[in-house]
Amino acid sequence: MTNQNHNIPRLNLVAIRSHHLQLSVQFYSLLGLIFVKECHGKGPEHYSANNGSYVFEIYPSNGSASVENVVRVGFYIKHFNEILDTLNKNGAILQVPPKISPWGRRMVVLDPDNNRVELIEE
């Protein structure tokens, strides 16, 4: 089996659930995502950020299911130091402080639902 680029699926959507919807929107906005409020048909009101390559959505939890540590999200980011400063100023919890990894300079921060968010310097 050959692994040609045109056969590799391209990410287009990441959707997470949150017990802390507004806090999660604020947290992911610190990374540079720009959200709009949406509601499709009879579905729940949620927030969506479209960066042209993929859509990142945050839905409210249904209240009964655990959303903690269910998701691991990763972003390549520009302005690594500025985002680190912004996260620190806003009380974000760094699970893995910035360090050089095989993928580049990397840190892992927890979102308001304790999901791991991996940030790699672009």
Q: What is the pLDDT of residues 72-114, one digit of tens each?
A: 899 999 999 999 999 999 999 999 999 999 989 999 999 998 8
Sheet hosting strand 55-60, strand order edge to edge: 13-18, 55-60, 46-50, 36-38
Q: What is the pLDDT of residue 36?
A: 98
Measured CA angle at 25 (ends 105, 112), to 5 deg: 70
pTM comes to: 0.84
Dist. CA 21–CA 33, nearest whole Å:
15
Residue ranges per domain, the chain? 11-62+69-121
Dist. CA 8–CA 2, nearest whole Å:
11
Topology, domain 11-62+69-121: 2,3-Dihydroxybiphenyl 1,2-Dioxygenase; domain 1 (3.10.180)
